[in-house]
Amino acid sequence: MPIRITFLGTGAGTPGKDRYLPAILVEDGLRKILLDVGEGVQYRLFEIGISPLKITHVFITHLHGDHVFGLPGLLATMAMLGRKEDLVISGPIGITNFIRSSMEIVGDPPFRVRIYEVEPSTNVKDVISEENFSLQCVSAKHTVPDCAYSLSWRTYVGRFNPERARELGIPITLWKRLHMGETVVLDDGRVIKPEDVVEVRGSGLVKIVYTGDTAPTETIIDISRGAQVLIHDSTFSAIEDGNLIWNQGHSRSIDAARVAREAGVDKLVLTHISNRYSDPELLAAELLRSSQT
């Protein structure tokens, strides 16, 4: 199952001429998920050819403006374009009131917002469980309640049997969903499971972790174990004073590298980069030196 990650904004705090504020698009074929919604997110979506109406889920890490001020505008656009489908939003304590206030500005929208409000804790919490997809949250180490998220997909390894699918009268439009491990219901009420049309040889887990803003912490290491990708706060360079940075609830490049090493993730991506660094290759070079020591 292909998972596409598009970094719409990787800046921090305030907009810069080279970086938009935090927003990441994750696509899995069935869902289009936004991780945080900084200002300018709609412009970035239009640039890559994605309509706001196609967004299915929004996961907010915390309620600092650079991570959430793009949400009211996004909701307003969805309403003006006549969205009908439900929108799923998850966030920490306070997200419900924030959305309600935003919707008062929007008016009476033609779609329903399903809100999952989570109180982050040091123990990993299950937030959403859908067909072949789950979302978990753990507390990041920041100055306000902050959800670090784990997005997981159960994948099925096996050959799809088109002849069997035709025998069962399954529309071609549903074949991909079945091959990705989703159970479907036909118009006549029959329930079709993946194993009905897929020669399953095994299964695996695809896992992405996104920290939001955080100082290095054991909770991030714990939730990141087994992840293919860790997207970690790297607001500052290694040349900055670590204690000062951590007290602000942020990390340096070398802090993110240590977390990734201890968690054993396959790939580390640095984000939430301060505008003070005009050349992000500085942080990449620090990671390389860190990996050699």
* Residues noted as catalytic: 66
- Find out whether 146 and 133 touch, Cβ atoms under 8 Å: no
- CA–centroid distance for 177 within its chain: 21
Q: Any bridge partners for residue 9, and if so which?
A: 23
Q: Is 102 helix (H, G, I), strand (E, B) or coil?
A: helix
How far apart are alpha carbons 272 and 16 in whole angstroms? 12
Angle at 124 between CA 123 and CA 130, to 5 degrees: 155
Backbone angles phi, psi at 246, to 5 degrees: -65, -35
d(CA 130, CA 116): 13
270, 19 contact by CB (below 8 A): no
In order of 23, 234, 255, 267, the CA distances from 259 in angstroms are 22, 11, 6, 12
The two structure tokens encoding residue 67: 């991570």
* Lookup: tokens for 185: 């219901």
Beta strands in the chain (DSSP E): 4-9, 23-27, 32-37, 57-59, 87-92, 113-118, 125-130, 133-139, 147-160, 184-185, 191-192, 198-210, 229-233, 267-271
